[in-house]
Structure 1
Amino acid sequence: MFGTSGIRGPVGDEVTADLALAVGRAVGMDTDRVVVGRDPRDSGTFLLDALAAGLRETGTDVVDLGLAATPTVARAVAWEDADAGVSITASHNPAPDNGIKLWQPSGQAYDGALREEVERRLREADFQLRDWAGIGTRTEADAGPRHIETLVGSVDPDPLDVVVDLGNGAGGVTVDALTALGCAVETLNAQPDGSFPGRPSEPTAENCRSLAALVRESDADVGIAHDGDADRMRAVAHDGTYLSGDATLALFAADAASDGQRVAVPVDTSLAVEDYLAERGVGVERTPVGDVYVAEAATAPDVAFGGEPSGAWIWPTETLCPDGPYAACKLVELASERPLADRIAEIPEYPIRRGSIELDAKAAVMERVSETVLDEYDDVTTLDGVRVAVDGGWFLLRASGTQPLVRVTAEAREEARAEELFEEARSLVENAR
């Protein structure tokens, strides 16, 4: 039920008020106080009400932040002296979807053990409901001002001209924080609207073309883009160049980590990040794909930063949740010290090939592929799919979590080698059919 980013799916099909009610009851079994909030999707109003009802039925008090960025909810768990936090959001997914994310007081998403216990309670309907005298309370709160205050106190950029594309999502704290820091801020798609009329919620290069054009034509210093709940942050340099996820990861990691430290990255991260950081004495800790796994790795004392090229960035000294507004403020601080275009010009780019193979028995095929790879290759990682490191590059085979596909990725420092590895990886899947 729980994917790498909580529960997520189409409203009225996979995500219903019944489900939200049951999750509230399950979470409420071992909590006394829970913070809740939602992104702008209309379905979030009744899903949040159902979840809050389930929590209150078990005797848990609810602190309702209403419309709030997911990192605001995650941070507010500690601020409100609560035991957990719940965000009603489908993050970067399209408008018909919604979902449920669960947070610990540290800001970290529920880990595997906590998720499994919630799932068990849902399967077994293992809830103990209170009578009328024992139900929990529901109060409203606004954690936005404290989030803004925290951001302003954490960075110190020179004032820049910044364009922020909120994608009709919940990330308005970014605008307020940058304004408080003295930046001149222009916005795109700033009105919260869960139908995402301005652009699709995911801040990809294609979806951020208007942002890139406005930054370039207006001579702004930086462009910032968020998804629907503002846990993701992507960026545009002053010349309109959209920063790749790997380049942004390398930039943040090099700033956060010192010689001898490590950064946590998923298995599909570019080799260019590892090479760039190695020049600075910084190591890489690879994790399964998903910010929940990056956050778990970031709890290690020598891990200074964690990030996913998709746009989730984690500074463990700040919080263990991906905080898009903090990432935005941090990027502006870096840009004020040196233009982003100059910084990313120093980060290598290697040829990478991506594709997928459609098949029905993906689990059985991947099992056979794993056996073959473990027999034939020396440097194999099975954290998430099968990743093989070879001279000059690597390839990764992963079964899709939602489609009958095996995804194939290959990268090398040279074009011909990348092509060779991609075909080698494809052959492994085809031969295992």
Structure 2
Amino acid sequence: MFGTSGVRGRVGEVITAALALDIGRALVADGADTVVLGRDVRESGRTLSRALSAGVTECGGDVVDVGVQPTPTVARSVVREGADAGVVITASHNPPPDNGIKLWAADGRAFDEDANARITTLVETQAFDLAAWDELGEYRRQEGAHAHHERALRESVALPGDLTVVVDVGNGVGRVTADALHAAGCDVETLNAQRDGRFPGRPSEPTAANCETACAVVEATEADLGIVHDGDADRMMAIDERGRFVPGDALLALFARREAEAGDRVAVPIDTSLLVADALADVGAEVTYTPVGDAYVAAETTNSDVVFGGEPSGAWIWPEQTRCPDGPLAACTLAALVSTEGSLAALVEELPTYPIRRDSVRTDSKQAVVERVGELVSGEFDDVSTLDGIRVETESGWFLVRASGTEPLVRITAEARAETDADGLFETARGLIDRAGEEIQAN
């Protein structure tokens, strides 16, 4: 039921009020006495949050509703309230017809596989004990989560007051970034700042293709920096002062190098560029690989020598602050970096570049396809990892084939130190997927 980012899907099909009700019940059956609840701007979130709240309270649990907030704001509220669990009703960067339910542990990180499995079993077996009429849980609305998050940003980051920053909120809930930077004295211009779960300004996912308008505005206004968020603001991507979208691997390398010292480790997913490992080697630190998904990265940051974790898709985790990917915190940290060390374009240009190819293949048999690819490569390549999907190392580079945790897609990543090698590895991976799909259909 749960993928790498909770349970997501089309409203009325995969995501229903009945499911939300049962997940609320399951949280209490799993031991949660108090649950913090928040949601993004999708209109369907009203119904789903009410249903989930009803499930919690009718089993005797209490609900603290912080309202429409960024995912990292809700995760921080779980810790601040001393709650046992948290829920965000969000489909993050998915399209408007979708919604989702993501669960958070008491320490502010996403539920891991074991915890999600427990909830799944409780929902499937309907193993709930409903409370008596006079033992129902309480519901209360908690104001001030936004202000607490903004204050935490100011306290944890030396915010600059001399930058011009364009913040593309993406019609989502990430206004706290603009508020924090503005309060510090920055000249802030917002784009798509009106909350609208239809995401009319641009698709919610902050990719280069979706952020062309923001890039143009940064260049035209001669801003120092551009910030873009997804719908629930757990992701943050950036635009340099020349109006160029900064690749996620480059941002990950910059953040990692800023945080790590000799002997430290940085947690990254298995599809991360060689660039990050090379950047850390320069300071005597190293990467530790995880399966793809911020929950896996967050889990690795519980080790004392892991000082930072991130994903090229735009999720950034500073474990001393929060184990939830915090897009506003990343935005403020990047602004501080640019203010003290110079232009973002110059910082990125100092990094080596390796050709990396990423694409997806749509299929309703994603797990079967990946499993068959694993069987195919086992006899053709010597260095194969199954940490998450199938990663193949060669003398010229590597490729990864893995099933998406949230969509009916098989992801392909290939990287090498030469363009032709990257192209060749990508075509090899694509060919293996096509072959696997054909064999599955034939059977």
Amino acid at match of 1:243: V
Matched, 1:15 2:15: yes
- Structure-2 residue corresponding to 1:96: 97
Query: Is the Cα contact below 8 Å between 1:157 and 1:334 reproduced in 2?
Result: no
TM-score (norm. length: structure 1): 0.96
How far apart are 1:373 and its partner, in Å?
A: 3.1
- Structure-1 residue corresponding to 2:265: 262
Q: 1:412 aligns with which of 413, 416, 429?
A: 416
- Helix, strand or coil for the counterpart of 1:208? helix
Amino acid at match of 2:150: I
Map 1:58-137 → 2, pairs under 5 A? 58-137=59-138
- Structure-1 residue corresponding to 2:345: 341
Matched, 1:180 2:168: no
- Helix, strand or coil for the counterpart of 1:286? strand
- Structure-1 residue corresponding to 2:223: 220
For 2:164 and 2:293, the matched residues in 1 are separated by: 32
For 1:331 and 1:283, the matched residues in 2 are separated by: 21
For 2:225 and 2:290, the matched residues in 1 are separated by: 30
Q: Residue by residue, what CA displacement relative to the aligned partner does 1:151-181 show, whole Å, maximum 9, x if unpaired?
A: 0001113311111111111111111111222
Matched, 1:167 2:170: yes
Matched, 1:6 2:6: yes
Q: Residue by residue, what CA displacement relative to the aligned partner does 1:211-231 show, whole Å, maximum 9, x if unpaired?
A: 111111111111111111110
- Helix, strand or coil for the counterpart of 2:209? coil
Matched, 1:292 2:295: yes
Map 1:243-392 → 2, pairs under 5 A? 243-337=246-340, 338-355=342-359, 362-392=366-396
Amino acid at match of 1:138: Y
For 2:56 and 2:412, the matched residues in 1 are separated by: 42
* CA pair 428-213 structure 1, distance change in 2 beyond 3 A: closer
TM-score (norm. length: structure 2): 0.93
Q: How many residues align?
A: 433
How far apart are 1:364 and its partner, in Å?
A: 4.3
- Helix, strand or coil for the counterpart of 1:179? helix
Matched, 1:25 2:29: no
- Helix, strand or coil for the counterpart of 2:216? helix
How far apart are 1:401 and its partner, in Å?
A: 5.0
Give the gaps of 5 or more residues in structure 1. Answer: none
Query: Is the Cα contact below 8 Å between 2:65 and 2:139 reproduced in 1?
Result: yes
For 1:178 and 1:402, the matched residues in 2 are separated by: 32
Q: Residue by residue, what CA displacement relative to the aligned partner does 1:171-211 show, whole Å, maximum 9, x if unpaired?
A: 11111111222212111111111111111111111211111
- Helix, strand or coil for the counterpart of 1:241? coil
For 2:261 and 2:84, the matched residues in 1 are separated by: 33
- Helix, strand or coil for the counterpart of 2:297? helix
* CA pair 406-327 structure 1, distance change in 2 beyond 3 A: closer
Amino acid at match of 2:216: A
How far apart are 1:377 and its partner, in Å?
A: 3.2
Amino acid at match of 1:397: V
How far apart are 1:340 and its partner, in Å?
A: 0.8
- Structure-2 residue corresponding to 1:44: 45
Q: 2:150 aligns with which of 148, 151, 156?
A: 148
Map 1:394-433 → 2, pairs under 5 A? 394-400=398-404, 406-429=410-433, 432=436, 433=439
How far apart are 1:371 and its partner, in Å?
A: 3.6
Query: Is the Cα contact below 8 Å between 2:5 and 2:405 reproduced in 1?
Result: no
Between stretches 402-411 and 21-30, larger displacement belongs to 402-411
* CA pair 370-347 structure 1, distance change in 2 beyond 3 A: same
For 1:34 and 1:323, the matched residues in 2 are separated by: 20
Amino acid at match of 2:154: V
- Helix, strand or coil for the counterpart of 1:85? strand
For 2:235 and 2:268, the matched residues in 1 are separated by: 15
Matched, 1:240 2:273: no
For 1:141 and 1:56, the matched residues in 2 are separated by: 16
Query: Is the Cα contact below 8 Å between 2:36 and 2:86 reproduced in 1?
Result: yes
- Structure-1 residue corresponding to 2:56: 55
Amino acid at match of 1:395: F
How far apart are 1:378 and its partner, in Å?
A: 3.5
